Structure 1
Amino acid sequence: MVHLLLKLIDMTALMNAINKNNATLVGQLIENGADVNELDSNQDAPLVIAAYKGYDQIVKSLLDAGADVTAVDPGMKATALHAAAYAGRNEAAKLLIAYHIDINKQGPYNGYTALHDAIWQNNVEVVKTLLDANADLKLLSNDHKSALELAKSKNRKEIVALIQSKMEK
């Protein structure tokens, strides 16, 4: 019981440090054995939260400490890369890609990939990063839209041009 309580305290401290963007404290907590994959009481994963908020140094620390790149958020079941793409966190996206996150993972509810999420939010720099990492342009969302079709439907002209250019190569 005491061990479980200590784990909950560590997790609360880790998530509190993440939410405050306190990279130094996150590092200290990791050094002292905080579980970088333990979900908080809301079922949020530390890596997903840090990526969504764009706390790049913390994302790197979590990844270096073995954070699970397959962790998903409790709502949409989206990965940290989905979160970074949706929120326009390009550096976090680059880190996640470097740590071999599945760039083509589709969310179970809408079938969106991280590329779809970046297009939805008009996050051009993240779209460029995902295209450079060879995101699969043929994957369809649950409403049968490719990345190009979604970009066209959202009138994302710059993104349409980027995707078309990538397809021509």
Structure 2
Amino acid sequence: MIAAFCRCSLLAGVLSVLLTGCQSGTGEPARQGTPSSSTVTSFAATVPASPEVPVIPTAVPTPMAGTARARPSLAPEAQAELDQRLIRAAKANDPNLVAELLRAGGNPNAKDTIQDSAFLYAGAEGYNEVLQLTLAAGADVRSTNRFGGTALIPASEHGHVETVRILIAAGVPVNHVNNLGWTAMQEAILLNNGGPKQQEVVRQLLDAGADPTIPDPQGRTALANAERLGFAGIAALIRDRS
């Protein structure tokens, strides 16, 4: 307690001296800056040494390397070659190579000479692992093939039940009409056998809001075509929704 009292007394004395110096002379306050060496020396000599509290420096966070890797910027020729390699890998149903090419900057929406993209082809053929990779890479779910159809239309035609589920969940329009005048539901009926897979595809389309009254170019609805072709199971599904 005595030592603390002494320190306080000494500090008060020094402050008094400094204030007196500010009030004398020109009357201007002392300039801010570094005290003279004589003041520091005399003050240090009067204060007993005491253990110093260690100063712990505050670490400045730095970005982690590789956490925000941007898509590489390629020359047009290199990008075109990469995109065509991606389409070929998708057509070969090679998900490992597709993933590698997408990481390298391949565009899942780029098309080849017959208007197939990696996304459109994977959807049409039911290559679900490749399809999921292209969707994760930003595939355009509204893109169309050479027939003016979305990926959902050939997937429905072929009876790819799980593929249809993936595409519907991704937001592919269920009532799109292609250049032949057919919706996904019309193709699911007109271009297959009406069996269990086709019935499940039609059920999924109906659940997603597909309109069975959209006619084909001959003016026939999906129900009319199902009845005409003898697909009783599909016809019953459509009637139940009517």
Q: How does the TM-score come out when normalised to structure 1?
A: 0.91
- Paired residues for 1:140-151 under 5 Å: 140-151=215-226
- Contact 1:81-1:114 at 8 Å conserved across structures: yes
| Residues 25-64 of structure 1 aligned to structure 2 (within 5 Å) | 25-64=97-136
Number of residue equivalences = 164
CA distance in 1, matches of 2:169, 2:103: 23
Shift of 1:26: 0.9
Q: Contact conserved, 2:108 with 2:139, CA < 8 A, in 1?
A: yes
Q: CA deviation at 1:41?
A: 2.2
Letter matched to residue 158 of structure 1: G
Larger-Rg structure = 2
Which one scores higher on RCO, CA 8 angstroms, separation ≥ 6?
1
| Structure 2 partner of 1:106 | 177
Question: 1:153 offset after TM fit, Å?
Answer: 1.5
* Alignment partner, residue 189 of structure 2: 119
RMSD: 1.4
Q: Residue 182 of structure 2: SS of its match in structure 1? A: coil
Distance 2:234 2:150 in 1: 22
5 Å matches for 1:7-86?
A: 7-74=79-146, 76-86=147-157
Instruction: Quote the offset at 1:5 in angstroms.
Output: 2.1
Q: Cα offset for 1:4?
A: 2.5
Q: Distance in 2 between matches of 1:51 and 1:125?
A: 17
Which of these residues, 216, 227, 236, is aligned with residue 152 of structure 1? Answer: 227
Question: What percent of counterpart residues are identical?
Answer: 31
CA deviation string 1:29-61 (max 9, x = no partner): 111110111111222122221011100111111
Give the residue type in structure 1 aligned to 2:221: S
Separation in structure 1 between the aligned mates of residue 140 and residue 119 of structure 2, nearest angstrom: 8
Deviations 1:79-106 (A, max 9, x none): 1000101111111111111111110001
Counterpart CA distance in 1 for 2:203 and 2:130 is 23
Give the unaligned 5+ runs of structure 2.
Answer: 1-73
Return 5+ residue gaps in structure 1 as ranges.
Answer: none
Partner of 2:164: 93
